[in-house]
Amino acid sequence: MTDLPIDWTTEGTARRRDTYYAATQTKFVPFKDPIVFRKGQMQYLWDAEGNKYTDLLGMNVCISVGHSHPKVVAAAQAQAADLTHCTTMFYHPVPAHLAEELAATMPKGHDWVVHFTNSGAEAIDLAMTIARTYTGNLDLLALRTAYHGPTAAAQSVTGISTWRHPGMPGNVAFVADPNQYRGIFGENAGAAPYLDEIERTIATATSGRIAGMLVESVQGYGGIIEMPEGYMSGAAERVRAAGGLYIADEVQSGFGRTGDHMWGFEADGVVPDIVVMAKGIGNGFPLGAVVTRKDIAAPMAEKFMFHTYGANPTSCAAGRAVLQVIREDEVQENARTVGAALLKRLHELKDKHEAIGDVRGRGLMLAIEMVKDRRTKEPDRETTSAVFENCRASRLILSKSGPTQSVLRMVPPMCLSLADVDEVAEGLDRAFTALG
């Protein structure tokens, strides 16, 4: 235990944040009034006053197998006590084991290799660099409602304007998101018109030869946008025909979260050239990774590339324990069954509450989208905010997402239970009913 004093009062923390946090860290806050979390255990959180919440956000999808999961904590504690950090250039077995174990989760028949980073954005940056180095092409494609991270390069492939700042590098063309609820080609338009759009974009907004395309297998901050059947595989075909690589961003959708598969891209049978992962890989310990084929990574050996905390053995020990827990606790199966039960309850809420325009998602990656009018589908940001605030009284933590902040996103720790589903559905119902 540390003997450094900690002021657990909400007022004290709020005052310190207001005084000492830079403006860059002040906008991204959830509730109108501050909340301080003191403890987390599996799918639950406790605030500084001792109130218990069900965490439907998983601390932004980082908590994959449960807050402070005892096996993950024990693995990290043991490694931190022995050797907290070992810089990548020295050999250590723990990251090497994790690389082997991650490679084993990838589609069979390829030589998969791993580069560990500190975060998802770093992994995205590296994936962009690998694609440009391997293909010799500069242009990349990304989706308009994509989010790929806060670094300059990751922002350059992030479509949502509220996450983009001045001064990002270029050579990125954006294609329409194949949103089956409100996409530009209308409701349930399928993949085909959006695949044509990829071809048109390559022909008219790039040099015709591209480095690759980034696709979140299920979009997270975009508001849980699933890729329609045939989109990921069709996109990969078109991208490869233009000399590029297909890059799957699994930062939110990976590690069994979609219920049916370990990786979101598997739903469409596509084998990506590069897979980017982070967040859930460490269950809260900072870690990211780029997984790609050996031949694609090979030209990178020409230059130095070094992420100081990539392959940090403490985070990698946590990562190994996460993979073990996913296997032993049948986490993916739980995401599938509990997710299906929650989705059913969300549909019942839609039948009852006119403000809900759409309910979607798979596994434990779910969302409800609020509209002012179900026919015009005008996004309803205000109702979303109000329901979100009301959820605090229901002791539910979720997230406002989507380019217009009109989606409530649910990405809980994957140990959420069927008993929780009842409480969540009832809590959400109260939050809508309280709107009056």
The residue ranges that bind ligand PMP (CB under 6 A) are 60, 119-121, 124, 147-149, 216, 220-221, 249, 251-252, 278, 288
When the beta carbons of 212 and 288 are compared against ligand PMP, the nearer one is: 288
When the beta carbons of 58 and 427 are compared against ligand PMP, the nearer one is: 58
Task: List the one residue out of 233, 245, 231, 240 whose CA is nearest residue 299.
Answer: 245
DSSP symbols for 152-209? HHHHHT---GGG--TT----EEEE----TTT-TT-TT--SHHHHHHHHHHHHHHS-S-
Closest approach, Cβ 253 to ligand PMP, in A, equals 8
Residue nearest to ligand PMP as judged by C-beta position: 120
Cβ-proximal residues to 82 (8 Å cutoff; 6+ apart), any chain? none
Closest approach, Cβ 276 to ligand PMP, in A, equals 7
When the beta carbons of 122 and 197 are compared against ligand PMP, the nearer one is: 122
DSSP assigned state of 139: E
When the beta carbons of 148 and 238 are compared against ligand PMP, the nearer one is: 148
When the beta carbons of 30 and 243 are compared against ligand PMP, the nearer one is: 30
When the beta carbons of 235 and 421 are compared against ligand PMP, the nearer one is: 235
DSSP symbols for 392-423? HHTTEE-EEESTTS-EEEE---TT--HHHHHH
The CA–CA distances, whole Å, from 306 to 20, 123, 303 equal 31, 12, 10
Closest approach, Cβ 284 to ligand PMP, in A, equals 12
CA dist 357 and 369 (Å) reads: 6
Helix axes 192-205 and 231-241, enclosed angle (nearest 10): 20
Q: For tokens 């006590």, what's the residue?
A: 81
- Relative to beta strand 210-216, strand 245-249 is parallel
- Answer yes or no: are the C-beta atoms of 225 and 145 closer than 8 Å: yes
Closest approach, Cβ 158 to ligand PMP, in A, equals 9
Closest approach, Cβ 61 to ligand PMP, in A, equals 7
When the beta carbons of 123 and 355 are compared against ligand PMP, the nearer one is: 123
Closest approach, Cβ 7 to ligand PMP, in A, equals 28
**Number of neighbours of residue 428 by Cβ within 10 angstroms:** 26
